[in-house]
Structure 1
Amino acid sequence: MKLVTSLGAGAAFWLSSALTGATAQDLNVLCGVDKDWCLTMEAAFEQTTGLDVAMARRSTGEILEQIRDEKDDPQVDVWWGGTGDTHLQAAAEGLLEPYRPAHTGDALPWAQNFYQLSGGTASGVYAGALGFAYNSSVLTGNGLKAPSCWKDLTDPRYLGLVQLANPNSSGTAYTFLATLVQLLGEDEAIRYLAALAHNISHFTTSGAAPVKAAARGETGIGISFIHDAVTQQQAGAPLVIVAPCEGTGYEIGAVSIVKGAKHLQAARRFVNYSMSPEGQATGTASGQNQIPSNARAALPPAAPDISLIRMVDYDFATFGSPEQRRRLLDRFDKEVLGNSSPVVTQ
């Protein structure tokens, strides 16, 4: 497993739905990817199908909690995007509807493996490696040497210059936590995070927020998925992207139908579209750089070559279990957040 459309009307409708909680007649989707991709996907799907979609962007952990809270009366039909281990947790809790998308046969091996692992309830849409990016101007201005490894980020000279999301809300940060456990062992990973926390200025809600803050020069180093850093770099930010020397983990972003979805047929059409070459092309169209799961989909020109990155053999089965997630998050809250002073922001 180691691996358009005009957005004006769609943007206005998406913002209205997100702020007011309005429910569309045809389909309700929670989106776990970057907002620009949410908007592009919504507009493209509506144009292709004629269906009316209400789509709101949330962090992965927030989506999981909402689906849990609404399990007796689901208000959401589709969960699209976000790290696959949280989709697996939802599958293990019986919150997802089994479905085999029309394009499953075109999926790359890692996506087919993920589908089997989910019991046929979640499909892999894209993949991306974890890493960090530093703002060269910020580091140079502070007279700091550039980091190249995870261990470098605990150097006291980076005090207040690192940002990471909170793994309770962010699938990206939970992937980071699980990656460290697989690289270092659990106790050493927690000790590392406790040391890192002294350098962290903010624990954000969104996994992409740290690298966006680094791109704006609001922090020196942002821990995130590499494809999110590439997007910021393409926009002109003075970011240098690092695949850490010790190795790193990766995500499989997924799509799932919520069990008890009120618009099941429309939900199936959305999942089919998200797995098609046309649906996956909306990522590139919105400036995203994840690796698509459909073998017939075009690879974004700036997508990172993960074959050149030292990767852990990420254990989705273990770290996608609700019990393991809860236990690790409890340790994080007690031993990392409980002994540090950074604030939590959006």
Structure 2
Amino acid sequence: MKNWKKWLGIVLSGTMMISLAACGGGSDTASEKKKLVIYTGRDKNVVDTVVPKFKEKYPDIKVEVLTMGAQQILERVRGEKANPQADFWWGAPQTTLMTAADEGLLESYKPSFADKIPTQYKDAQNRWMGEMLLPEVIMYNSKVLKKEEAPQDWDQLLDAKYKDKILIRGVLPSGTMRMIYSSMIFRQGADNPEKGYDWLKKLDANTKEYTQDPTNLYLKLARQEGSLSVWNLQDIMIQKELKKMPFDFIYPKSGAPILVDGVGIVKGAKNADAAKKFYDFLFEENTVQDLSDKFYQIPARSDMKQPSWLKGTELKPLNIDWSVMAKKEKEWMQYWDTNIKNKGKK
């Protein structure tokens, strides 16, 4: 009897140890593998379309999405470098991603579709890939201005007749706006930015307000608190076609900065496997085509056909050295913020 009790005690003790182990570190590891944290600058409509489809394909992965401007994402990822909180970075201009890669914030990963992305649209070490091409254009309220009345090129934005008609999304938190403003400096001469600064001073004199975020920009433009802005083509089309906002665009005659908007895996991501799954899913042909048709994305993949909604629009690019932009953008934007913003009316 004593031997039987002793044997039963050993068995129960062993069972308890196995149960405790299962409830301890092992389950944490399993839960980490089934989680995915995404930092994104993408429009909510795009996120709300892609993420549910991804979760349908991978129901065991819990997805958390935090939305903010591309520059805000860079600063956050930079601040979290020692203990990364994000796994996947979804959406930023190539200059922002180039900076992140140079600072060791992005993981090298060569997905199966890598050869479909042209060399100029990706990092040589596969630390980021271009998802789409994003022309930056002139935006206007079509209830206030006829197409022929809106500025047809960048320099026309400086015309005195547009004074207090221009609304600009807050520049520093926005990767899009930083690139538009930096492009305006570059086109005047990157070696000596003074001409570019002078151009932005004249634009500031015509600017009524710098809005807090894109939502405020859309609301104020729709309420006719201003009639003009500069913004990316995709978001203008989303607001026009899906939200039925009274917006339209002018593709500048001299050309537009065409950003390569891309993605990457955060260096040291806790859920790298899930991030890779989302990476591959995002670039699947069906996903790319769906986003192109429904959300006006121009695919960076070379094997995808040009969207039908873009027919009749020539994607004429401004001649920009993006490596120079990546190096100079921070310096230029700090100068603009300190010496130009809101000083044109004084």
Do both proteins adopt the same fold according to a TM-score greater than 0.5, normalized to the shorter chain?
Answer: yes
Q: Which amino acid aligns with 1:88?
A: M
Cα deviation, residue 284, structure 1:
3.8
Partner of 1:253: 261
SS of 1:313 mapped into structure 2: coil
Partner of 1:219: 226
| 2:168 is equivalent to residue 164 of structure 1 | yes
- Where in structure 2 are the equivalents of 1:229-248 lying within 5 Å? 229-235=236-242, 236-248=244-256
Instruction: Measure, in 2, the Cα distance between the counterparts of 1:336 and 1:190.
Output: 8
Partner of 1:182: 186
Instruction: Measure, in 2, the Cα distance between the counterparts of 1:202 and 1:100.
Output: 43
Q: Which amino acid aligns with 1:276?
A: E
Cα deviation, residue 102, structure 1:
1.4
- Where in structure 2 are the equivalents of 1:41-56 lying within 5 Å? 41-50=50-59, 51-56=61-66
Cα deviation, residue 125, structure 1:
0.4
1:290-334 Cα shifts (integer Å, max 9, x gaps): 21122444544323666x14321332222123xx22211221112
Q: Which has the larger radius of gyration?
A: 2
SS of 1:202 mapped into structure 2: strand
Instruction: Measure, in 2, the Cα distance between the counterparts of 1:305 and 1:172.
Output: 24
Counterpart of 2:205 (choices 198, 209, 219) is: 198
Task: Give 5+ residue unaligned stretches, structure 2.
Answer: 1-31
Counterpart of 2:84 (choices 53, 74, 77) is: 74
Q: Which amino acid aligns with 2:73?
A: I
Instruction: Measure, in 1, the Cα distance between the counterparts of 2:299 and 2:219.
Output: 22
C-alpha contact 1:277 1:298 (8 A) present in aligned 2: no
Counterpart of 2:337 (choices 333, 337, 340) is: 333
Instruction: Measure, in 2, the Cα distance between the counterparts of 1:290 and 1:210.
Output: 21
Normalised by the size of structure 1, how large is the TM-score? Answer: 0.81
Q: How many residues align?
A: 309
- Where in structure 2 are the equivalents of 1:293-332 lying within 5 Å? 293-297=300-304, 299-303=306-310, 308-321=314-327, 324-332=328-336
Instruction: Measure, in 1, the Cα distance between the counterparts of 2:256 and 2:342.
Output: 26
Instruction: Measure, in 1, the Cα distance between the counterparts of 2:223 and 2:283.
Output: 33
Partner of 2:115: 105
C-alpha contact 1:211 1:221 (8 A) present in aligned 2: no
Cα deviation, residue 266, structure 1:
0.8
| 2:70 is equivalent to residue 60 of structure 1 | yes
Instruction: Measure, in 1, the Cα distance between the counterparts of 2:339 and 2:111.
Output: 42
Query: Structure 1 residues 79 and 212, CA, compared in 2 at 3 Å: closer, same or farther?
Result: farther
Deviates more, 1:333-342 or 1:152-161: 333-342
| 2:278 is equivalent to residue 270 of structure 1 | yes
Q: Which amino acid aligns with 1:182?
A: F
- Where in structure 2 are the equivalents of 1:282-297 lying within 5 Å? 282-284=290-292, 287-297=294-304
SS of 1:163 mapped into structure 2: strand
Instruction: Measure, in 1, the Cα distance between the counterparts of 2:170 and 2:33.
Output: 31
SS of 1:230 mapped into structure 2: helix
Cα deviation, residue 202, structure 1:
2.2
Query: Structure 1 residues 276 and 257, CA, compared in 2 at 3 Å: closer, same or farther?
Result: same
Cα deviation, residue 208, structure 1:
7.6
Cα deviation, residue 48, structure 1:
1.5
Deviates more, 1:195-204 or 1:72-81: 195-204
C-alpha contact 1:212 1:232 (8 A) present in aligned 2: no
Query: Structure 1 residues 89 and 222, CA, compared in 2 at 3 Å: closer, same or farther?
Result: same
C-alpha contact 1:150 1:244 (8 A) present in aligned 2: yes
